[in-house]
Chains A and B, each alone.
Chain A
Amino acid sequence: MVLPAQAQSVLRVGNGAEPETLDPHQGQGVSAGNIVRDLYEGLTSQSPSGAVAGGAAERWEVSADGRVYTFHLRPGARWSSGEAVTADDFVAGLRRSADPAAGARYPEILAPIENAEDVSAGRLPPDRLGAVAPDAHTVVIRLAQPTPYFLQVLSHPASFPVYRPNLLRYGREFARPGRLVGNGAYTLVEWAVQSRIVLVRNRNYWDDAHTAIDRVEYYPTEDLASELKRYRAGELDLTSAIPMAQAAWVRRTLGAELHLAPYLGTYFYGFNLARAPFAGNANLRRALSMAVDRELIAGKLLQGAALPAYGLLPPGMPGYPPARPDWADWPASRRIAQARALYAQAGYSDQHPLQVELRFNTSEDNRRIALLVAAMWQQRLGVRTQLVNEEWKVFLQNRRLRSATQAFRVSWIGDYADPMAFARILRSSDGRNDEAYDSPAYDALLAAASAQADAPRRAALFAQAEQRLAADTPILPIFHYLSKHLVKPYVDGWSDNPLDVHYTKDLRLRPH
């Protein structure tokens, strides 16, 4: 059959940082994830609005105890090479993703699967992972505990299948044009590092008939201002974000093309509880927290491109509204008075002010926020703040050592829409707990929530955990992120969602 000659439909996407790899099990960044989701398809997928949808699996059953998932693959699912996608490909992908010998970077997301933590720790071989393929079209996954968000995990790149012939042939260098075989709607044709990555539609994709865009070009830009200019010059159809300092101006000039929507991310300051002055001084931490005017930061400084934050968990968690302490709604004078009282109780005064270091990694937004917070502390409590601006890797190392930091900047992006994605980072055992927060009560609440299959009771446990956090104040939440895309009006099918996941196959371009 000969198709009539037709202009190709090309989507040009500004994609933020250069992806470090397109290997689904080794990539960690947002920019890599965007591309990998076009190249591969997990057992599940997401609808444009963010709901769980069928992916490579057409349907599935969940056992009554919520611990056994049985997936049935689509009969027509094929690799871009034309071969059929089998259940073994998925099992192999999960095993590789959990296997420390494969150098996989994201094992924690597979933690709900039976034996996953032991496999990742090297205590069990990868084939003991609780995922099996009874036949070529069926994948059975056993979980350690019922996990309400587990279907979302299966749309994460870390759970994607792997095309074993090329993995065997090229090893870790398989994720290159000409070598990468995927089961997604697109296939990789060009990767010029720091220049662009080009994908064309995969004619072997099971739903190719409904794909509208023929070619996607992903352009890396570290510099958001440059990305914005290229968008305005008509060289990009979509951007990864906008510079927050220009949010108001962009909204004014580009209007409806700016899509601001809640995104699963929180920006906060951590207090190092292992060192003076914050060790064992909850009053001080609360005083500092109450002295910070989040509305001013989110509204005036970030120009509405962020939401004020009073807790760790962002909005957008199903069945879980974000926490809001009562003082959040107090008038400023009362809040400041209370903060001053707590500051005094903590043993500080104008004669004996707190001297503190606030550490952040080099970036325009971090700098401005830190300046403003320091000014609020200074002008409201009399705190003398020293801003310590460090380059990213140095900053990470210092934060992790817990021996140099006092207060420091953290931002955390959730991988799935569940409170656990956030709450877990303050567990005493978590590798990310740079605050050295060690609360047995908090750990116990999280453990209970993990074991709890009933959604309302689980939510209640998380709410209690958040109250614990509010009382202990190991962190000072500042704002919740918004996704900030610019989308040309001729791009149809775009829909904002909390995980900020967008598949090119769901988009189409109107003539323009």
Chain B
Amino acid sequence: MDTETQTTRRRARGSSEGADLELTGICKRFAEFIAVDQLDLVVPSGKFFALLGPSGCGKSTTLRMIAGLEAPSEGSISIGGQDVTELPSHKRPVNTVFQSYALFPHMSVLENVAFGLKRKKDREAMPKAKAALEMVELGHLATRKPAQLSGGQQQRVALARALVNRPQVLLLDEPLGALDMKLRRQMQLELKTIQTEVGLTFIHVTHDQEEAMTMADVVAVMNEGRIEQLGPPRELYELPRTAFVANFLGKSNLMRGTVSGQEDQLLSVDVAGNRILLPAARAVATEGEIMVGIRPEKLQISATEDTTAGMNRLDGIVKDASFTGTTTEYLIEVEGIGLIGTFAQNRGQQPGEMGQRVFLSWDPVHTFGLRGSESELAGVEEA
């Protein structure tokens, strides 16, 4: 045995540090339905990792396979260098915070939290469980039964029950789904703080793109059993590589066009007679028919034409303007392209009213290019 595997083994046996998680060629088939399709994934130790996708995209199944609650049809899973594919769930160094919390109703809150430690024959199970409850600020409710707690409190108990075991990987299966908006925001911040403090590897499954972006270091967007794109939230948002990611993660204006030329790393794209510039490095496809995308907030809307050189420009008629307080959201019909969405901060000026002609402009560096073969509506419904 070489030294490297020795250290990974040692780590796998139960230190409190997080560990790398590696999925290789994972497939999961249910009868005729493919839930997860050839998934490869490496989550480095200590990262807050989010699996984001619409319901039915296979993200929960992936999580259940990591937990050992579901066996993959193909592929292997390793944690900290140790292959755990064949290990039953009770032998894996992972813990899960379930969507339903799954607190044991016949035990007190404290007994719930101490459950895992007792199974591991930890002599300090009770003091550790008490400390974990204090951490989630529920020490005073230790003797209550789960049914006597509110949803948010139950959620914290579930979190404490998983965290107290110091698993190498903590799995969170939409744990905030049942909470109301305010509590949810608060728990998001707390979870993030706790993760930074304990330094464990967190895998967070969610369908809420905002939640994934606020909390995670790395986000993997899943769709139909595959990972569409993986990266830090900002990168995914600023430079989506598929139409699904562009639409599911935030909103995008996608326009079809044909590449007409290239100069100085800038592609010229003919979109319904308009010349749109796009950095070649930001395009997945650089020839023929492609899809050009721009995020709504990158657009400038104005009643007069912006004549700055090197800007992308479009003009159209205001079809809808809805006032939302801090901003006004506009839908602008551009001839030959369709509706383009944007918004303007309410700083007193009114760039356009219904039926009026307005001018849109943006810096080409924000433009991104996608494959023309994709549907511009991919991921719109699910978001």
**A, B assembled together:** no
Task: Give B residues with C-beta under 8 Å from A.
Answer: none
